[in-house]
Amino acid sequence: MQEILRKPPTILTERLVLRPLTIEDDEAIYSYASDPLVSKYVSFETANSIEDTRTFLRSVLDNYRKGVEPGSFAIVMNEGMKLIGTIGYLNWSNVNKRIEIGYALSRPYWNCGYVTEAAKAMIGYFFRHTDLIRIEARCAVEHTASSRVMEKAGMTFEGILRKQALISGRHHDMKMYSVLRDEWQREDHH
């Protein structure tokens, strides 16, 4: 686990490259992190300046160095190598063999299946290279696009956590999804 946190791998999918973030990603991330529609249902506040984004990136790079989470990967399109979002992991519990994933995507790339593709790749990577038995994700009840991503990525809806997350100054009910190692293996991913 420590090795993945310190040196996040580069993961290739059909259309994407998931790679560690660098400080040079500041402008690409700021372009969507400053969009109030992108940040509406995520845990970060809308970025007000590129300096906000650089602060985020410095904390990610610092976490890589220390081998701690939360950690993030850039979601980059194979074609043109454009950064279009991030997918990250948090709440890694060694004791419970559990991790949570989360993501954000630039608005022009919504509804194209990119986040589902990235989430499937992350799930596969973690089940192949760690001893995790559960990967979970949450989204605000009203965030139907995110629910669809989790379902298409093979996750099961478990229930609603009432007023579980403070997002944009207001408590939201959150849908909880998960996929278990044995379910993932049954889907013939070896």
Q: How far is CA 47 from CA 2, 50, 53, 75, 159, in A?
A: 30, 7, 7, 19, 31
DSSP states along 33-63: HT-HHHHTTSSSPPP-SHHHHHHHHHHHHHH
> How sure is the predictor about 144, in pLDDT bands with cuts at 50, 70 and 90?
confident
Question: Could you please report the per-residue DSSP string of 159-173?
Answer: EEEEEEEEETTEEEE
How many Å apart are CA 177 and CA 190, to the nearest integer? 22
What's the whole-number mean pLDDT along residues 102-111? 92
* Mean pLDDT, residues 63-86: 92
Q: 48 falls in which pLDDT band (50, 70, 90)?
A: confident
The rounded distance, in Å, linking the Cα atoms of 26 and 55 is 9
Question: What is the residue-wise DSSP string for 97-110?
Answer: TEEEEEEEE-GGGT
Per DSSP, the three-state class of 184 is helix
Most confident of 29-33, 36-40, 83-87: 83-87
- pLDDT above 90 for 43: no
Domains of the chain with CATH codes: 2-132 (3.40.630.30)
The pTM (predicted TM-score) of the whole model is 0.91
Quick: pLDDT tens for 125-134.
999 999 999 9
- Asked if 90 and 144 touch (Cβ cutoff 8 Å), the reply is no
Confidence of residue 189 (pLDDT cuts 50, 70, 90): low
Cis upstream peptide for 70 (omega within 30°):
yes
The residue that leads in pLDDT, 45 or 146, is 146
Dig out the tokens for 177 from the structure.
Answer: 């999804």
Kindly report the three-state secondary structure assignment for every residue of 108-155. HHCCCCHHHHHHHHHHHHHHHHCCCCEEEEEEECCCHHHHHHHHHCCC
